[in-house]
Chain A
């Protein structure tokens, strides 16, 4: 009897001990792989002195598109300041904004500027913030690598198959009448399954796509104006998860979908990015066309920093690192494109 009780106690104690000291090991090993970043080579600014002594915590949430940059910088930051706890999540720009404007997180990642309604929520809750543009992302419209029918689609083509008037279209050919009506150049379409997999409404990538395509921000027709469209069709496979989208697009020959440029780059072997014609000819997404703005579906990426949080040394040091040369190298690794000029961003940060 007592032996058995002892056994139970031993098992429990082992589990507790493992749990207690486990995370310590985690942090020591977390420093190990990237210790090449010397603790003294700090970022574009202040905190050069008491580097390793920083403690506290940083909570980051928002766009899953910006998440890889923020998480990459966070890993780099942890290698320099192992004492700081950081959490990075990517539920979507909209959900991140809700958390940011209710004061639950320090930094909100966003793949579009916060909407007025979101800024109002911040104001209501007395949250002041600094808006920083950190990189550019080309929103890539994808199809499968087996798609031999199209290499380039005009915004009118996209509207014909993705707009709100195309609810229920299961085949490309279903969109022929609508395409003819709005003068889409690639119609008539083949009689082939139309499988759409794309981000859902919680995602900044979704909002940006709606603005580009429906509101004519990319340079095409403003369908909100001319056809009273409010959004894209709801009946597609919607996922906040870019890998799900890649799988869905790769799984059907004449599929359509859209993701951030970085996710397209990581999966070039499985999906093909379509060139987009927004009235000025077909332009395919590439680092150059995105940086020089000739690719119509490109957008800036933001981080929002809570002003109250920015007063904390660990948050300030994190943003400093984010905007330093070392931090910006993460942007290259994750496949996004750097801004041509970081002066305005740095200025906004320094004038906080």
Chain B
């Protein structure tokens, strides 16, 4: 893509050219695999989701709550739960992630940066099942139950904070990249005008990196919406839940609802619609994250075009 090969008419050896074509076709095949996977994902979701929609009583999609085994598939319960938890996650991840990013990119001395950045990467590498355990056994009693004594062990707040910690390194690394991509000349121009460091960071670097920072937040949100294990372990409503807006109560998310329907090697094999609702929710989740990813991609491309 990057280099223009000189036209190689001079190398006439046929077996050599044939091998060249074979190798190229092999690699093209590998690249096309990714499209195949996308098609399979959409296909596997859409087929069963459609048969769910055509079988189910549409009024059961707007009900008292999400109780798939009682034929109550209230979409607003799982979508609201997902959005509430993602919102809490972003309330945690935005200040922590952006703060860390600005500090690392603008203030940290090279030596400090060399130490802090890998530690942040370790945090990014902690598997979500571990954070789920942490949210349940530490965040819930030590943070959530102190904020609100009425909160139970399982709450959307505990899950949200857990997801927030999970998303923080992602927000930090993407927005740090965006700020480091801002040309040094801009900063120097600002200093030249007599601006202070804090002013330069907030008025010059930050706006210049705005679309990259936006991308990092949208990417974080998308990741939070799709996060499964933390929510399945700490949010509580494993089987079903009434429509709930209080974040100190247990809640149901799309991902947790899916896990509850298909845990272990055994699944609901019955004739009811519970199992197929898994695919419907999966399709919804897929479309939501896809939209967010496309938007964030747009923002990232804007950054690339600028600098």
Contacts and interface: CB of A to CB of B under 8 A. Distances in A.
Given A193-B150, A248-B154, A95 B267 contact: yes
Given A234-B240, A237-B237, A95 B268 contact: yes
A250 interface: yes
B269 A99 contact: yes
B270 interface: yes
Given A98-B268, A99-B269, A235-B65, A200 B240 contact: yes
A102 B240 contact: no
Interface stretch (A218-226, A238-246, A340-348): A238-246
Contact of A237 (B72, B136, B250): B250
Contacts of B238: 200, 237-241, 244
B269 A95 contact: yes
Contacts of A140: none
- Chain B interface mostly helix, strand, loop or mixed? loop
A89 B64 contact: no
A134 B173 CA distance: 57
A91 B239 contact: no
Given A95-B268, A237-B238, A238-B238, A202 B69 contact: yes
Interface in A82-128: 87, 89, 91, 94-96, 98-99, 102
Interface string B69-98: 110100000000000000000000000000
A300 interface: no
A231 B240 CA distance: 15
B237 A234 contact: no
Interface in B257-291: 260, 263-270
Contacts of B263: 91, 240
B240 A248 contact: no
B153 interface: yes
A247 B72 CA distance: 26
A286 interface: no
B247 to A, nearest CB: 15
A195 to B, nearest CB: 6
Contact of B154 (A201, A202, A247): A247
- Interface size bracket, A side: 20 to 34
Contact of B264 (A89, A167, A234, A235): A89
B269 A234 contact: no
Nearest to A193: B150
B265 to A, nearest CB: 6
A251 interface: yes
B67 interface: yes
A231 B72 CA distance: 14
A99 B267 CA distance: 9
B164 interface: no
A201 B69 CA distance: 7
B269 A248 contact: no
Contacts of A95: 266-269
A98 B270 contact: yes
A89 B267 CA distance: 11
A237 B153 CA distance: 11
9 contacts: A87-B265, A195-B152, A200-B238, A234-B70, A234-B72, A234-B240, A235-B64, A237-B241, A247-B153
Given A167-B64, A234-B70, A238-B239, 19 more contacts: A89-B265, A95-B267, A98-B269, A99-B269, A102-B269, A197-B152, A200-B260, A234-B67, A234-B240, A235-B241, A235-B242, A237-B154, A237-B241, A238-B238, A240-B260, A241-B238, A247-B136, A247-B153, A248-B152
Interface of A: 61, 87, 89, 91, 94-96, 98-99, 102, 167-168, 193, 195, 197, 200-202, 231, 234-235, 237-241, 244, 247-248, 250-252
The 4 A-B residue pairs with the shortest CB-CB distance in the complex, in nearest-first order: A200-B239, A238-B239, A251-B153, A91-B266
